[in-house]
Structure 1
Amino acid sequence: MRQDLRVLAFGDSLTEGYSNWGAQWTPYSESKAFEAILDATGDVFQIVVEGQSGDFAIAFRRRMEQRYSTTSTRSPLYDWAIVLGGTNDLAYGRGAKEIFDALVDISNIPLEHGAKVLMLTVPECQHRSEGLERRRTELNDLIMNDGRRNVYKLDLHAAIPYHAMDKEEREKIWDDGLHLTPEGYERMGKVVAERLVELIKETKE
């Protein structure tokens, strides 16, 4: 049976699709790859992008609350929420547990309103330091081990590496050492859509 599904893509600049110093915006959830994979299911999808460049996970709650303050006869308002956050928090030295607690707090809102949540791990970046690597690893471990009901995970960090890519591929996928190119967001869209479709099939059965 065909489903009508509404998906919220929520996060920071990596959700908003920032590249080329803000001259281009190509959200992964609006990529051709993302749309093609979802269309192939036969279901009907409405995608809502809620990305804000420079935002911190610890400040996400206001935006999520605004999304759910919308008057709507649809219940649930969103069937799935895809959440990615923490890049900016890590850059400013915040601890993994503080960031994870913020992600739990804001993802509880869609959960409480009947949505399922797909949590994405935080990708690496060009800059490396022992402290940053440790905190990102700890944060991603917390995300991947999140045991809440109706919370699912995708290891985006493993799916789109930075340092393990060869130079030629990296130049195609990574823009400025932190954000992706339009081609990179296409790849991200493919990875996220494949996982989302897999989960929709699993949870339908």
Structure 2
Amino acid sequence: MSISILCHGDSITRGYYDHGWKHHPYSRKLGELLKDHFHSSITFNITTQGINGETTASMLKRLEKTFSETKTKYDCLVVLGGLNDLGDETPDLIAQNLCDMVVLGRKNVKNSCVLISVPNCYPDRSYSKYREAKDAVNKRLKEYVDKQNGSLTPRVHFLDLTEHGLDFFAMDDKQRSLIYDDNIHYTPEGYDLLGSAVFNVLKSDISV
């Protein structure tokens, strides 16, 4: 049995750290945990589509292209984006683009779609309007997922990163230095936490 997962997003999905000289995508940890959990009963094929600096509008167009051109039949879609939009776009537009990716996913994947909250980070501390806009986006994303009928397939999940150990404001300086590389992107340890969070959401949707 084989399960195909598409991880779609911006530099966070790509695993950007060390000023972009290195990459450690969360999909690595996700794959390791899935393999350990299901042992040899399932083969996992994970595609990582992360582009540095990409906005949600561009992400949506790219996802449309992926589904229209690829021969792969994906079982799960994971979407993470929004950080690159916050200085220029309204919260409503950002949230709509992210939700539209899930709408597109539900038409093209078999098992489930995971919509991840826009990560909090250092700029939230310095710019109140930035943080307020991000909070508004995440509220809208959660409301959208809550309205979905959980009995339908593919299922839709909202993954709030602040509930999975990735909350910039709940950490002391020592924790932040371990998890955050540049106060926006994560270190490999931070990306592994993200991969673990996605695993905890997806594992219940995968059956042998």
Sort the TM-score into its range (normalised by shorter chain): 0.7 to 0.9
Give the match for residue 23 of structure 2: 25
- TM alignment of 1:42-121, pairs within 5 A: 42=39, 43-72=42-71, 77-90=73-86, 92-115=87-110, 116-121=112-117
1: CA distance between counterparts of 2:136 and 2:78? Answer: 20
- The match for 2:120 among 118, 124, 140 is 124
Partner of 1:194 in structure 2?
200
Q: Give the whole-Å Cα distance in 1 for the aligned partners of 2:68 and 2:140.
A: 29
1:111 match: secondary structure: helix
Structure 1 residue aligned with 2:160, among 155, 176, 194? 155
Kindly tell me the number of residue pairs found equivalent between the two proteins: 194
2:5 to 7, 12, 37: 7
Whether 1:182 aligns to 2:178 is no
Measured against aligned partners, the alpha-carbon deviations of 1:123-152 in whole angstroms (never above 9, x if no partner) come to: 111112221111111111111122235321
Report the RMSD for the aligned CA atoms in angstroms. 1.7
Deviates more, 1:46-55 or 1:186-195: 186-195
Separation (CA, whole Å) in 1 of partners of 2:12 and 2:139: 20
Runs ≥4 in structure 1, deviation > 3 angstroms? none
Report deviation, 1:59: 1.6
SS in 2 for 1:83: strand
* Preserved contact between residue 9 and residue 79 of structure 2 (Cα < 8 Å): yes
Structure 1, 44-53 or 127-136: larger mean CA deviation: 127-136
SS of corresponding position for 2:169: coil
Structure 2: any 5+ residue segments left out of the alignment? 150-154
Output the TM-score relative to the length of structure 2.
Answer: 0.86
> What amino acid is the match of 2:95?
F
Q: Contact conserved, 2:79 with 2:101, CA < 8 A, in 1?
A: no
Structure 1: segments with no counterpart, 5+ residues: none
Which amino acid in 1 is paired with 2:188? Answer: P
Distance in 2 (alpha carbons) for counterparts of 1:121 and 1:83: 9
